[in-house]
């Protein structure tokens, strides 16, 4: 997927009538930091997703506009990407770890604060739906590896090979070049994190990924970890993350953003602060990417990232829009 094109200016025109622009007011030591207004009119239902996952927000919107629940919307949206073999960052077709095994992480969280997740799960195309089963059918919240796979099969999910020929070829090429080391850079990721508010005004979220490409076997990132890749509080809003999971985990990014919104920050301001926590604690920040998306209970959203090139797909009032995120390091 070509999501790395940095467009010089953010466009908010797609927001149409919904725009009540509000420029984020955080100050920063980085004078070149790019600010982008990304706060829309408070209209629900709404769904937002990381990156240009337009097929996912469309599927989620179809659920919401029929009066469906936010939890169904985010699950259906994520499933679209998990099934898309051309998407090498999620589900079937996802890039494998450095040993050539595709291992998936996913989670889901509902309006009541219930959460379910699977990590390092192989051979199952729809980890988001397995995560939902963990949430609804077990006394636990997180299943890992073989246990998660076994549970999925017991729940009626079919085992399937996830490594496609294209992903295998790319991995074989990587192996020659990288001497079998895991590499962390800003290109080898792209999780889908989704947030939705339904007609009743309730919020839910989900996040699903194959993780960093060519990661070490057994590595688990932020995406399925509550508070890091995703957090929902139905009295405040929700947040989700993409990018270098280790950094999101260390700062408990999504939880931080929701708590900042609870204290009165806008979703945009909260995402910016989430990024700044990482930047201020890791001098290496120029070498990786993290992007956040937040949605408050009023239906206002925000997004922010370390490097330019990130953006979000939004569906609201029957209309789909791509919103480019502001970034801490603008592309020069």
Cβ closest to ligand ASP, residue 68 vs residue 211? 211
Name which of 54 and 250 has its Cβ closer to ligand ASP: 250
Query: Is 222 a binder of ligand ASP (CB under 6 A)?
Result: yes
Cβ 192 to ligand ASP shortest distance, Å: 9
Q: Using the rule CB under 6 A, which residue among 75, 82, 97, 190 binds ligand ASP?
A: 190
Q: Which residues lie closer than 8 Å to 290 by C-beta, 6 or more apart? A: 241, 242, 243, 244, 247, 248, 253, 275, 278, 305, 306
Q: Is 247 in the site for ligand ASP (CB under 6 A)?
A: no
251 a catalytic residue: no
Record the tokens describing residue 226, joined without a space: 């509550």
According to CB under 6 A, which one of 103, 123, 209, 234 is a site residue for ligand ASP?
A: 209
Q: What angle do CA 109, 59, 231 make, to 5 degrees?
A: 20
201 Cβ contact list (under 8 Å, min separation 6): 44, 297
**319 Cβ contact partners less than 8 Å away, ≥ 6 residues apart:** 14, 16
Residue 122 contacts ligand ASP per CB under 6 A: no
- SS3 of residue 155 by DSSP: coil
The answer to whether residue 97 forms part of the interface with ligand ASP (CB under 6 A) is: no
Residue from 245, 274, 308, 309 in contact with ligand ASP (CB under 6 A):
245
Residue 211 in contact with ligand ASP, rule: CB under 6 A: yes
Whole-number minimum distance, CB 89 to ligand ASP, in Å? 5
Nearest to 275 by CA among 259, 291, 263, 264: 291
Handedness of CA 277, 279, 283, 284 (dihedral sign): positive
Question: With binding defined as CB under 6 A, does residue 254 bind ligand ASP?
Answer: no
**Burial class (CB within 10 angstroms; exposed 0-12, middle 13-18, buried 19+) of 58:** middle
Q: Does 123 bind ligand ASP (CB under 6 A)?
A: no
Set 57, 69, 89, 191: catalytic member: 191
- For the chain, what is the total number of helices (H) and then of strands (E)? 8, 13
Under rule CB under 6 A, which residues in 281-310 are in contact with ligand ASP?
none
Q: Which residues are at the interface with ligand ASP (CB under 6 A)?
A: 89, 189-191, 209, 211-212, 221-223, 242-243, 245
Active-site amino acid positions: 191
């Amino acid at each position: 997927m070509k999501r790395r094109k940095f467009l010089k200016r953010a466009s908010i025109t797609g927001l149409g009538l919904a725009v009540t622009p509000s420029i984020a007011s955080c100050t920063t030591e980085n004078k070149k930091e790019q600010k982008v207004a990304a706060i829309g009119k408070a209209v629900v239902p709404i769904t937002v997703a990381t990156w240009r996952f337009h097929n996912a927000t469309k599927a989620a919107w179809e659920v919401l506009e029929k009066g469906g629940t936010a939890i169904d919307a985010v699950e259906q949206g994520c499933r679209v990407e998990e099934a898309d073999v051309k998407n090498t960052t999620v589900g079937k077709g996802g890039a494998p770890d450095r040993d050539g095994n595709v291992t998936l992480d996913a989670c889901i969280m509902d309006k009541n604060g219930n959460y379910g997740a699977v990590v390092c799960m192989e051979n199952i195309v729809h980890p988001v739906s397995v995560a939902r089963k963990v949430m609804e059918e077990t006394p636990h919240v997180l299943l890992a590896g073989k246990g998660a796979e076994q549970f999925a099969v017991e729940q009626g999910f079919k085992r399937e090979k996830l490594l496609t020929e294209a992903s295998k070829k790319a991995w074989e090429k990587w192996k020659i070049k990288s001497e079998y080391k895991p590499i962390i850079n800003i290109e080898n990721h792209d999780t889908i994190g989704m947030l939705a508010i339904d007609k009743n005004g309730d919020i839910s979220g989900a996040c699903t990924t194959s993780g960093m490409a060519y990661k070490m076997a057994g590595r688990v990132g932020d995406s399925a970890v509550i508070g890091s890749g995703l957090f929902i509080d139905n009295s405040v809003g929700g947040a989700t993350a993409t990018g270098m999971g280790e950094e999101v985990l260390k700062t408990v990014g999504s939880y931080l953003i929701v708590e900042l919104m609870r204290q009165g920050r806008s979703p945009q301001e909260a995402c910016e602060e989430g990024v700044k926590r990482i930047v201020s604690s890791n001098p290496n920040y120029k070498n990786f990417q993290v992007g956040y998306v937040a949605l408050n209970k009023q239906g206002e959203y925000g997004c922010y990232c370390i490097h330019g090139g990130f953006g979000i797909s939004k569906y609201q009032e029957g209309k789909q829009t791509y919103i480019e995120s502001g970034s801490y390091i603008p592309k020069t």
